Structure 1
C-alpha cells in the first residue's frame, strides 16, 4: 500500500492539504508526512540562487570558474562559459549524472540538456563564493521567509517516524535514502503543504515588478518544437521551455510553471500559475505515482487548459 499527499493553492495561497494511503506498512499518511521530493529539489535550489542574486551575493551571469572548477574539466576552456543562469536553465552541456568523470557532452549555453550535475556545479560555486553551503542559504532565504518548517536537505532528528517509505513498481517497500550533506538537485524531504508554502512565496515574487521577476518569467531555453512535435497544433502552448528552475508554458495568455521528480520508489509533481493564482503539489511514495497526477488534477477543477495540455503531452496526442 502506498500513499499520495496533496496540497492546493488558490488565489496565490495554500488552501487545502490532505493525504491518503500508507506512509509505510501499518502507518497512515497524513498531511505532515515527509516525502523525498526527488527533482522537485531543483526549484528550491534555483530559488536560493535567485535570492542570492537579489541580495547581491552572486550574479546570474558571472563566470563560475572564478570560484569553482571541477577538477575533471580543469583543462577544458569551456569551463569559463559556465554561469548560474546556464546551470538553472539546464544548458551546461553536462550529462544528467557523470559516468566516473565529469565531461561536457556539448558546448555550454547552446542547447537544453537536463542535468543534475549542473545544479551540483552551481552548489559548489555558491559554497566557494559565499563560504556557506546551499542549505545554509535555503534556511535563511527560502525556508524561514516562507514558514517552511518541514523541509530539509539533510538528516534531521525530526524526520524520525514521519517519512513516507518509497515503493517500487511492484509495491515492494524500500529503505528511504537521506543525505548527510546537501544535494542541490535531489533528495530534499518535505511535506506537500510545506512545498505549497514555497510555491506561494514564488508566486508573490513573480508578481513583483522588478528585473528579477521579469527574468523569472522568461524562457531561457525554448523547447516548444521538441515538446509539440507529436501534438496537434491547436493543443500546443504559445510558448514552452525551461525558465530559471521551472518548466514554463504559456497557454491562453496565462503562465504555468511546472516540475516533476522521480527517484526509486517516488514520484512528485508541482505546478502553479502566477496569473490564475492556482497550483497543486502531489507527492507519492511509489514508482507508479505518475499515474495519479492527471486524475487528481482533473478533480481540482482548475486550470483546465493547462491540464488538457498535460494530458495531450502524456498521450502524445496528435489528434
Structure 2
C-alpha cells in the first residue's frame, strides 16, 4: 500500500495527451469525453477509467471507458479498488457515530483501545479520533512488515500522513461499540447514502466486475482485498457510488452543524510544505487537513479533495461546498494520474483549482 500523494503527480504529458481538446467547456460533456478519453487511455497505457460528475450537489453523469480486464469492457458498474479514497469514508462513519454520541472526537481512545506495541508509552493517552482523522497521531504511514508500531512524534504536535492512524481509530470504534467497522459503515453511511455497490474485502457479487490493476507498462497485477475492514485502503466501489457518498457529505447528511463545520475546518495546516518554491504561485490562501479530507481555501472557494494510490491503482475525488460541484476519477493503472487534468478540465473544475493541480506536477 503506497502513501497517498498529496502533491498530485499530474504529469505535463497529460496536457499533450489531449487536455486542450477537452478544456474548451463543450456543451455536451459526455460527447467530448466519448471522443477524447479512448485516445487518452491509449496514450497513457491506462486500461480503463470510470468517471462521475457532480453538479449542484447531485450526480449528473457517470461514464466508463476502456477495459476492466483484457477483453472485458469497463462499465459504470465496474468495481475499483479506491485505495486511500477509503479514508474519507472511514472518517464519515466516525463523524456520523459522533453525531449519534456513540463516540466523541476528543475522547481518549486509550479508554477502550491501546495497540499492544505502545502499551508502555504514555503518549497513547493523548490519542483521540480527531487526531487520527487529521493525521496527527505521530504514527508512521505503515509500521512495516514485522516492525512494531511506534510514535514518530508526540500526538497533536505535528502532521504525519498515517494509514496506521486510521486503522487505530477504527479499532477504537469497534472496541467501544462491540461491532465490526464494516457493519457500522453499512448501517450509518452506505445504506443511507444509497451506496449499494461498496464494500471491503471480497464479496461474491464482485465476480466479473473488478477492474484488474496494471503497472506502468500495462502488465496485469493481482487485485488486493482486505481480510478485515481496512480503514485506510482497499474498499471497492463504483464511481457512481462514490459520487453518491460525496453528495451525502455535501448535504451534511446525519451530522450536526458543528461536526459538519469540523469536517471542513483545517485541523492542521500544510500550506508551508505544499507551497515551497515555484509551487507558491498557484497555492491556495490556506491548505491543510480537515477530518478525512484535504482542504484547500482559495479566494472565494473551498475545495475538499483526496487521492489514492496502490500498486496498479490511481484514484482522485474532489468537491466544493462553495460551488456544489465535484468529480470522482477511478483508474486501474499506475499511469492513471496522467488523465487527471484533461478529465477535470472537461468536467468544469474551477480555474484556480486546476492551476493548483498543474503547479503540483
TM-score (norm 2): 0.85
Alpha-carbon deviation of 1:230? 2.3
SS at match of 1:144: helix
Structure 2 residue aligned with 1:161, among 186, 193, 208? 208
Structure 2: stretches of 5+ with no match in the other structure: 1-45
How far apart are the structure 2 equivalents of 1:231 and 1:61? 38
Say if 2:95 and 2:255, in contact at 8 Å, map to a contact too. Answer: no
**Higher-RCO chain (CA-CA 8 Å, sequence separation at least 6):** 2
Structure 1: stretches of 5+ with no match in the other structure: 315-319
SS at match of 1:211: helix
How far apart are the structure 1 equivalents of 2:99 and 2:87? 18
Say if 2:96 and 2:255, in contact at 8 Å, map to a contact too. Answer: no
- Asked if residue 275 in structure 1 is aligned to residue 322 in structure 2, the reply is yes
- What value does the CA root-mean-square deviation take over the aligned residues? 1.4
How far apart are the structure 2 equivalents of 1:206 and 1:309? 29
Counterpart of 1:133 in structure 2 is 180
Q: Deviations over 1:222-243 (max 9, x none)?
A: 0111111123544221110000
- Asked if residue 102 in structure 1 is aligned to residue 156 in structure 2, the reply is no
Structure 1 residue aligned with 2:100, among 44, 52, 55? 55
SS at match of 2:143: coil
Counterpart of 1:86 in structure 2 is 131
How far apart are the structure 2 equivalents of 1:208 and 1:154? 27
How far apart are the structure 2 equivalents of 1:209 and 1:119? 22
Structure 1 residue aligned with 2:219, among 152, 164, 172? 172
How far apart are the structure 1 equivalents of 2:345 and 2:335? 18
Counterpart of 1:317 in structure 2 is none
SS at match of 2:278: coil
How far apart are the structure 2 equivalents of 1:4 and 1:176? 16
Structure 2 residue aligned with 1:25, among 67, 70, 74? 70
SS at match of 2:200: coil
Say if 1:8 and 1:281, in contact at 8 Å, map to a contact too. Answer: yes
Say if 2:279 and 2:360, in contact at 8 Å, map to a contact too. Answer: no
TM-score (norm 1): 0.96
Say if 1:222 and 1:241, in contact at 8 Å, map to a contact too. Answer: yes
Counterpart of 1:305 in structure 2 is 352
Residue pairs, 1:196-207, within 5 angstroms: 196-205=243-252
SS at match of 1:103: coil
Counterpart of 2:40 in structure 1 is none
Q: After the TM superposition, which parts of structure 1 deviate over 4 Å for at least 4 consecutive aligned residues?
A: 206-209
CA 233–205 in structure 1, closer or farther in 2 if over 3 Å, else same: same
How far apart are the structure 2 equivalents of 1:195 and 1:214? 21
- Asked if residue 237 in structure 1 is aligned to residue 284 in structure 2, the reply is yes
Alpha-carbon deviation of 1:250? 0.8
Say if 1:3 and 1:20, in contact at 8 Å, map to a contact too. Answer: yes
Counterpart of 1:259 in structure 2 is 306
Counterpart of 2:12 in structure 1 is none
Structure 2 residue aligned with 1:71, among 116, 131, 135? 116
Alpha-carbon deviation of 1:207? 11
How far apart are the structure 2 equivalents of 1:305 and 1:229? 18
Counterpart of 2:266 in structure 1 is 219
Alpha-carbon deviation of 1:114? 0.5
How far apart are the structure 1 equivalents of 2:92 and 2:68? 28
- Asked if residue 247 in structure 1 is aligned to residue 294 in structure 2, the reply is yes
- Asked if residue 187 in structure 1 is aligned to residue 234 in structure 2, the reply is yes
